[in-house]
Structure 1
Amino acid sequence: MAKKIIIMALLLIMAGGPVLAAEEEPARLEEFVVSATMTQKYLSDAPGSIEVITSKQMEEMNALTVADALENSVGLIVSRESGRTRVPSIRGARSKHTLVLMDGRRLAFGFNDMIDLRQIPVVMVDRIEIVRGPASALYGSDALGGVVNIITRKAPYEWSGEAKTQFGINKDGDAKEYVGSAMVGGPLDRFRFLLSAEKRKKDGWNKTSSLPDDGFEESPLLLSGRFSFDLTDSQMLSAGVEYTDNKYEGGQFYERMDRTRNFDEERRGYFAQYDAHFSDVHDFMLRVNRSEYENKMLFDPDARSGRRNTSQYVNQAEARYSGLYFDSHLVTLGFDFRRDELDDTQMGELRNKEHVNNFSVFLQDEFNIFDPLYLVLGLRYDNHSEYGDQWTTRASTIYSLSDSIRVRASFGQGFRAPSLTELYVTSLRRRGQEVYEANPDLKAEKSTSYELGIEGDFDIVYAGLTGFYTDVENLIESIFNRVEGSGPSRKSYYQWDNIAKATIKGIEAEAGLRLPHGFSVDGNLTWMDIDNKSGGEDIGAQPKYKGFVKLGYEYPDWRLKANLRMSYTGRMEYAEGDRYSYTLFGTYISKGFGPNFEIFAGVDNIFNKTFERNNVTQIEPTTFYGGLSYRF
């Protein structure tokens, strides 16, 4: 009944609200992006395929984490791996082939080499920039499939603040979720700061199978700070710190026994940065960055093989210079040194800590060949302490057919160095029934990609169409080795090796239309075809089709917003032979009161579409939520 009431209220507001929007706006506002070239430019001028998810868009889908915010992105799947971990996968590549950055900074890998996007709340996020296609010529290892760059809020020049609270519950009365967040910042002479915090508490929810796996109890906490000091009008020192703590507890069937799994994860990040802007055409940046990840896992009743403590660290120092030469060449030169460290109890008693070093230098030139033709060339050299040297190249061009229509073309190479886990850690997976053995002789995975697209952006409509083709080689796959034990102690052993190749081709389409009376329609559709040259089905359980449509409504004079969303994920086939496809519907409505207050409510997964994989529910049941916010 509650679901029907909310849907009817939304439709009535749309039908009976004002008949004219306050003012017609462009179909898509121009956004500044930095991830495509490491230099700031308008989205329409950025080479390659770029998508920007704004804080407003996150708010209108009630995204609480970066994982939620990315769900409807073009050509991107938020995969659910290792049970509940949520990781990004771009253009059919594996999740390990997507580089996740925060303000351009590397993050330490998490559990089983994955950066779980549930660990990153959006309260501190200004926007998310997604680069589709290989970007190793700029970013090095792990950008084989693309880049997700999470741009956080900066210390403001004017005093501002925000407080927000909300409550949610699923259709069965379970999974009660409480969220509270706050943020405040402003200037103190030349010094500026921004502090933010968020605390969430989510109850578990009923199991949906004969096994005990259900929705875990969750208790995430975020604390972050950004600090800036203006040395002069053209020079600035900045620093930042972020801390997240995520605790999960719930039933899990592990080593053929019902147990309670306790999992505690912490992320910490620190950075200091110097920026200088000289003569309007020369910029310099120097930054040091440290990212830390730690987890502790245990089971009750105890499972010795399930006790696991992992610590991963990234220490990074980088310098970058950009300057304009001959009035048309914007040249960027960068240096980077990185040390990755891993300490894992599953390495064994004789070896419990390993590290690798990586030194790199890159050069990029952006220039106009002639007035409507813009070209970007890039070259990068990486020296890795384990596998040696790696060169990667990139070429992108934009040709403007008119002020509103552009053609884009790109060629790029990508690579991913073997992770410390693959090189040195023997890990248990699939509920402790499978053992994955390390291989110190692994080589880097590599990709070569081509794309061609056309896009137009007019007063009330925008549209784009892009085709891409990617070759991937030296893919690291697990090879079956042997079986040991019997009964509850039986385990299958695998080892990592470079055995696989794949080709991925696809088409991405997106469009938006601003309709009369405050309505708008936005959507995208992706088609992919993956040919696993090693045999078998699609790698990474990638869908052939993925689509999204949103009907929005906004009346600024009343501070009223609403939307109805539909997302479709086509058939995904997993290694164990399971196949799934699903369509989800959601809705959101908000109303402002005065200049500062706003209330909001919504429903996710309106028609209660769920499915299980390995006895873990992959999509939560119908969930209702509501809350209020205050801004100044």
Structure 2
Amino acid sequence: MKKSLILSSVATAVLLSNSYANSNLGEVLVTTATKTKKNIDGVSASVIVVTKEDIEKISASTLKDVFEKIPSINAQYARFPHPSSKSKAAISIRGVGANGTLMLLDGKRLSAETENPYEMNRIPASMIERIEIVKGSMSTLYGSDAIGGVINIITKKITEAQTAIDLKYGLNKKGDAKQKNFNFTTIGKNDYFNYKVFGSIIDEETFTKRKNYTQTAVNPQTGAIIGANPQNGVSGKEDVTFIDDATVLSFGTRLEKNLTDNLLAGIDFNYFKEEREGIYLGNAKFSGGGLIKNTPILSKDNNKRIDVSTDFEYQANKDLATNLKFYRSYYKKRNETTPVNFTGPVNKKFSANVTIDNVESTTTYLLNDSNILTFGAEYRKETRDSSAINPNPSSDDFITKEVTYKSLFLQDEIEITDSLNATLGARYDHISNADSKVTFQAGAVQKLNDNTSLRVNYSQGFRAPDTAELFVVAPVFKDGKRFGSDVIFGPKTTTYDLKPEKSQSFEIALSNNFNKLSSEIVAFHTNIKDKIELVSYGAGAGKYYTSENLDKVEINGLELRLDYDFTNYLNSNFNLTYLDTEDKTLNKELTFTPDISASLGIDYKVTNSLNTNLSLRYIGEQYTNSQNSEKTEDYTLVDLGLNYKINKTASVYGGIDNIFDKEVDEELGVNAGTYTYIGFRFNF
């Protein structure tokens, strides 16, 4: 890069500054992959950028709508030990697993449930400027939890005054799964400060499927069947929930002020509250003694999250910029489950308080015409109070687990020649419940000619075990029980020394832009040592799941992207991902990693005011258990949408998802069938 471009980058590049990036323009600037503002063509890691225009094109009103249509990422359901996990998803990138994906909001971690089953309806799409998805390990910049990749949701930056309102209503062909959304964002400036305010209300009605069940009464300590219990052997049918009846309220604001010409200060406050309710097949205690398995239970959630942060961006001179962040994310989860068929005690086992306190400093320094140094330090404390980790499964008392992270990192972006640049990085992490770790990353981008570039990247990653993997005590999980590796209870009679995951990833990519065709092909190889996975032991009443290390896992993959503009009015995009995963010890494929996933999008501008888009998504077969004895079927979903601009202020949009009412295996998540929606947008 030229010196003028380097100086421009440093002048504006502070940690995760919110820059508008339109994938249809020649220059796309990203921040997540290097923590500096950088042209995506010069980044050695794989990055997907989803712009606000992309979000509007697919008529998305929440983050869930966006993620369902992004290639190369995979939603995994039923990841945590609670019956309602069937309706909540976590995101896996390149087969590494849901716990290896770090989700950020404006560069800050969000507190939530363990094992990342984040209900993505919590984030309204109207507040999003763009989403940057970095595929492959990013541990050298973000530490533990980023072994598979990073998803950074970047909200709208405070620029010129504007107000946006979005109203949407949808339901499936049977009139179920109704959803009403109201989103607004307003941005402005005055003589004292700049401000941004956003809010969202999502009201969602339940979607259920009729299921048969047969109850079993057991002794919770020994697993022995209690034949004399009046609930033992009771059979019936129940409408089981796959989408909760829920009301979700989000509100947030940001205030900014230039204290001096070189110093910008900002304050953020976000508030989120949700109420959820559903009926699931699970376990419940019987008042007369015993545990009733596979019985209908009513699950109610009353949750809230409060995020508070302050940040300072200081431009010391043309060569030196520093960013300092302080933030706290507090999540209060209150869950109650009660039996439907009989009178039993209320179970509050899966309530929790989660707090993340973080201090982070990042400095960018222009060393010379060819080197940009980025160095920083981070201190983070994560505190979890939960009865789910209480070693006494009959107690609702909270147990507290605390983990601290102390980190230092250094990165050098080097211009070797006018056509070759490289990025080198290293990080040191000290974690209170795991060994200290040093990780390295090295990548390079070679411009072969005006249209073609070659990039290579090597990265190391790691992930420390989370609280659930170490300490959870769940008498009910799938067809057995679940215990953390440190737990001794019931059929589990020994502890297990659970080690952090460690990975090495290699990737090579060739990208080309020629006339109307843009393409990229990426080949990657990842070795993971001591990968943390659930394994099962025993059978029947004595069956349980626990977290253990797989000695060695190997993932090979290929990604292909093709974008072609047929005319100024018609363009298309095609994405394909091939994954070959293997547990080398057992010679088995990893669970919930489809061998092939693909998407095809066709956008057609009918008139200057009317746009249509057709989307096809294919998900291949995938195993659902570690023994590779059960496999889901592949499926293809077809969606159709349109946007009509009424005038400069107002537009209407609508569409039909899953036009052909394709059934999806329940192990893979929620599918309400053919779904129709309509919405209105207003921009002032």
Query: What TM-score results when the alignment is normalised by the length of structure 1?
Result: 0.91
Work out whether 1:560 is the aligned partner of 2:610: yes
Counterpart Cα distance in 1 of 2:530 and 2:112:
21
Verify: 1:292 aligned to 2:292, yes or no: no
Pairing 1:342–2:384 present? yes
Partner of 1:465: 521
Task: Say yes or no: does 1:606 pair with 2:659.
Answer: yes
Query: Structure 1's 371 and 387: CA in aligned 2 closer, same or farther, altered over 3 A?
Result: same
- How far the C-alpha of 1:28 sits from its partner, in A, is 5.1
> Please, which runs of 5 or more residues in structure 1 have no aligned partner?
1-24
Which residue of 541, 551, 555 corresponds with 2:592? Answer: 541
The list of structure 1 runs, each at least 4 consecutive aligned residues, that deviate by more than 4 angstroms after superposition, is: 25-29, 302-306
Match for residue 418 of structure 2 among 371, 393, 417: 371
User: Is 1:232–2:288 an aligned residue pair?
Assistant: no
How big is the shift at 1:30?
Answer: 2.5
Q: Which amino acid aligns with 2:534?
A: S
CA contact (8 A) 2:87 2:244 kept: no
Residue of structure 1 equivalent to 2:207:
205
Match of 1:123 among 111, 123, 126: 126
User: What is the aligned partner in structure 2 of residue 573 from structure 1?
Assistant: 623
Task: Find the counterpart in structure 1 of residue 510 from structure 2.
Answer: 454
Aligned residue pairs total 600
Please, which moves more after superposition, 440-449 or 373-382?
Answer: 440-449
Q: Shift of the alpha carbon at 1:305? A: 5.3
Change (3 A) 1:221 1:521: same
Q: Sort the Cα spacing of 1:294 and 1:536 in 2 relative to 1 into closer, same or farther, 3 A.
A: farther
Among 37, 42, 47, the alignment partner of 1:50 is 47
Are the equivalent residues in 1 in contact too, given 2:200–2:251 (CA < 8 A)? yes
Note if 1:63 corresponds to 2:60: yes
Give the equivalent residue in structure 2 for 1:19: none
> Does residue 442 of structure 2 align to residue 395 of structure 1?
yes
Q: Which residue of 2 aligns with 1:514?
A: 565
Give the equivalent residue in structure 2 for 1:324.
366
Given residue 62 of structure 2, which amino acid in structure 1 is its aligned partner? T
Partner of 1:504: 555
Within the candidate set 359, 377, 383, 2:406 is matched to 359
CA contact (8 A) 1:27 1:513 kept: no
User: Residue 144 of structure 1 contacts residue 416 of structure 1 at CA under 8 Å; is this kept in 2?
Assistant: yes
Look up the match of 2:355.
313
- The letter for the 1-side match of 2:198 is S
Match 1:148 to one of 151, 157, 176: 151
Q: Secondary structure at the residue paired with 1:411?
A: strand
Change (3 A) 1:32 1:370: same
Structure 1 residues 509, 113: CA separation in 2 closer, same or farther (over 3 Å shift)?
closer
Q: How does 1:389-468 map to 2 (within 5 A)?
A: 389-430=436-477, 433-439=480-486, 441-468=497-524
8 Å CA contact 2:602, 2:614 repeated in 1: yes
Distance 1:513-1:586 versus aligned 2 partners, 3 A rule:
same
Q: Judging changes above 3 Å, is the alpha-carbon distance between structure 1 residues 410 and 549 closer, same or farther for their aligned structure 2 residues?
A: same
Residue 351 of structure 1: CA displacement? Answer: 6.7
Give the alignment partner of residue 620 of structure 1, picking from 672, 676, 682: 672
How far apart are 1:282 and its partner, in Å? Answer: 1.7
Q: Within 5 Å, which residues of 2 pair with 1:454-493?
A: 454-481=510-537, 490=541, 492-493=543-544
1:621, CA displacement in angstroms?
0.9
Larger deviation: 38-47 or 108-117? 108-117
Q: CA deviation at 1:185?
A: 1.7
Per-residue Cα deviation, 1:395-416 (whole angstroms, up to 9, x for no partner): 0100001122110000000110
The amino acid across from 1:173 in the alignment is G
Q: Indicate the larger mover: 347-356 or 174-183.
A: 347-356
In structure 2, distance between residues paired with 1:315 and 1:26 = 34
Q: Which residue of 1 aligns with 2:197?
A: 195
Indicate if the aligned counterparts of 1:254 and 1:432 stay in contact, CA closer than 8 A.
no
CA distance in 1 between counterparts of 2:253 and 2:137 reads 32
CA contact 2:90–2:116 (8 Å) conserved in 1 = no
- Secondary structure of the 1:388 match is coil
TM value normalised by structure 2: 0.84
Matched position secondary structure for 2:118: coil
My pick for the range that moved more, 466-475 or 299-308, is 299-308
| RMSD (Å) for aligned C-alpha atoms | 2.2
SS at match of 2:99: helix
On the 8 A contact 1:32/1:42 being kept in 2, the answer is yes
**Which range moved further: 300-309 or 193-202?**
300-309
Query: CA deviation digits over 1:201-245, x for unaligned, max 9?
Result: 111134154343133212111111111111233320012121222
- The question of whether the paired residues in 1 share the 8 Å contact of 2:207 and 2:672 is answered with no
3-state SS, counterpart of residue 620 of structure 2: strand
1:500–1:117 CA distance, 2 compared to 1 (3 A): farther
Among 299, 302, 305, which residue is 1:267 paired with?
305
Amino acid at match of 2:474: S
**Alpha-carbon distance in structure 2 between the residues aligned to 1:430 and 1:521:** 43
Letter aligned with residue 229 of structure 1: K
Structure 2 distance, partners of 1:592, 1:437, is 54
- Distance of 2:153 and 2:547 partners within structure 1: 31
Q: Deviations over 1:66-87 (max 9, x none)?
A: 2321223342112223312121
Distance of 2:121 and 2:588 partners within structure 1:
28
Give % identity. 26
| Aligned partner of residue 386 in structure 1, secondary structure | coil
- AA at the equivalent of 1:471: N
Contact persistence 2:137–2:461 (CA under 8 A): yes
